[in-house]
Amino acid sequence: MRRFRLFEFTDLRWYPQAFRRIQTDYLQFVATRGSGQAGLVPLLVKAMKHAETTEIVDLCSGGAGPWSLLQPQLVAAGWPVSIKLTDKYPNPAALRHWEATSQPRVEYVAEPVDALEVPASLNGMRTMFEAFHHFPPADARSILADAFEKRVAIGIFEARVPSPWGPILLMLAPFTTLLGYLLMTPFIKPRSWSRLLWTYLIPVVPLATCWDGIVSLLRVYSPRDLEELSGRLTAPDYAWEIGTASTGTPIFEYVYLVGYPAQSGRGLGASQ
């Protein structure tokens, strides 16, 4: 499969933790505006029913991903879940937030968790939002293979820009990202002088976010790529579903891959 050999700042070990936290806080703030994940609820419930679990291990959580909105949606669908948020570079601010939050059954794991080496102590359906594209094909296959071999459910969800919006959005990305930071930063908590400095006076983080956003859109695995990555992982007691789902806006759509234990074998489906 064709892959753009480009880096993202948040993948670099030397990227300052202060910048990483400002960036993940911004992305978390944006991810929790609106309810675009509603179309993913049936996929998650189906996979967890097959896996007979009400637990979720969210990998590469960053600031916490969409769970502040998505968990209540699952509860409303009749499937109350317990969620463990994990990351290779845990966000201390997010950790403190979830320790103090009144939202029940959500825990941010303080220890680093590598998506390529999920500890046996973390049980439940594995999920990954907007992070799978960070992994090259060999590592992406390894993530899927580990879930398949251990017969645990897994859900991969990434937003992409469908035609004809892609080129237009890429051209506008520098302006929309900078505008987003300028308008939203005053509302992002925790407020700090560091956030204001690296956003307004020396806008290093908005520029890094813009670069990472463009690279992310270029590197998202397509449904065909996901079929190729999971193609050799077949068994009568495990099923895969691959397709697209609505984000609630015509500009973006979710590409998803969901795997779960099943007696029906491999299944490939798509929803528009």
- Give percent of the chain with pLDDT exceeding 70: 87
pLDDT of residue 271 exceeding 60: no
Taking the C-alpha atoms of residue 105 and residue 55, their distance in angstroms, rounded to an integer, is 9
Taking the C-alpha atoms of residue 88 and residue 17, their distance in angstroms, rounded to an integer, is 12
Q: Where are the beta strands (DSSP E) in 138-246?
A: 154-160, 238-246
pLDDT for 51 = 95
For the chain, what is the total number of helices (H) and then of strands (E)?
A: 9, 7
Assign domain 9-261 one CATH number from 3.40.50.620, 3.40.50.150, 3.30.1490.20, 3.60.15.10: 3.40.50.150
pLDDT for 93 = 65
- Give percent of the chain with pLDDT exceeding 90: 48
> Which tens digit of pLDDT belongs to each residue from 43-73?
999 999 999 999 999 999 876 678 888 898 9
Helix or strand (DSSP H, E) at 32 = none
On whether the CB atoms of residues 87 and 113 are closer than 8 A, the answer is yes
pLDDT for 35 = 55
pLDDT of residue 97 exceeding 80: no
For the record, the structure tokens of 222 come out as: 């397509």
**Interstrand relation of 154-160 and 253-261 (parallel, antiparallel or unpaired):** antiparallel
pLDDT band at 31 (very low <50, low <70, confident <90, very high): low
Give the DSSP letter of residue 128: E
For the record, the structure tokens of 175 come out as: 């302006």
The sign one gets for the Cα dihedral 42, 44, 49, 54 is negative
Q: Give phi and psi for 55, each to the nearest 5.
A: -110, 145
pLDDT band at 34 (very low <50, low <70, confident <90, very high): low
Query: 211: helix, coil or strand?
Result: helix
For the record, the structure tokens of 1 come out as: 């499969």
pLDDT band at 102 (very low <50, low <70, confident <90, very high): low
Most confident of 87-91, 99-103, 197-201: 197-201
Mean pLDDT rounded to a whole number for the chain: 85
pLDDT of residue 126 exceeding 90: yes
Helix or strand (DSSP H, E) at 267 = none
Taking the C-alpha atoms of residue 236 and residue 263, their distance in angstroms, rounded to an integer, is 6
Place of tokens 């909105």: 69
How much of the chain is helix, strand and coil, in % rounded to 5? 45, 15, 40
pLDDT for 268 = 43
Helix or strand (DSSP H, E) at 165 = helix 165-184
> Which tens digit of pLDDT belongs to each residue from 184-215?
999 887 788 999 999 999 999 999 999 988 88
> Which tens digit of pLDDT belongs to each residue from 216-266?
888 899 999 999 999 999 999 999 999 999 877 777 889 999 999 986 444
Taking the C-alpha atoms of residue 51 and residue 260, their distance in angstroms, rounded to an integer, is 6
More confident residue, 39 or 2: 39
Residue spans of alpha helices (H) in 52-120? 67-76, 92-100
Q: What is the mean pLDDT of residues 138-146?
A: 97
pLDDT for 265 = 44
More confident residue, 238 or 162: 238
pLDDT for 270 = 42
pLDDT of residue 142 exceeding 90: yes
On whether the CB atoms of residues 53 and 153 are closer than 8 A, the answer is yes
Q: What is the mean pLDDT of residues 84-101?
A: 73
Give the DSSP letter of residue 10: G
pTM: 0.82
Q: Give phi and psi for 47, each to the nearest 5.
A: -65, -40
More confident residue, 110 or 100: 110
Residues near 216 by beta carbon (within 8 Å), at least 6 away in sequence: 8, 130, 133
Helix or strand (DSSP H, E) at 105 = none
pLDDT for 1 = 66
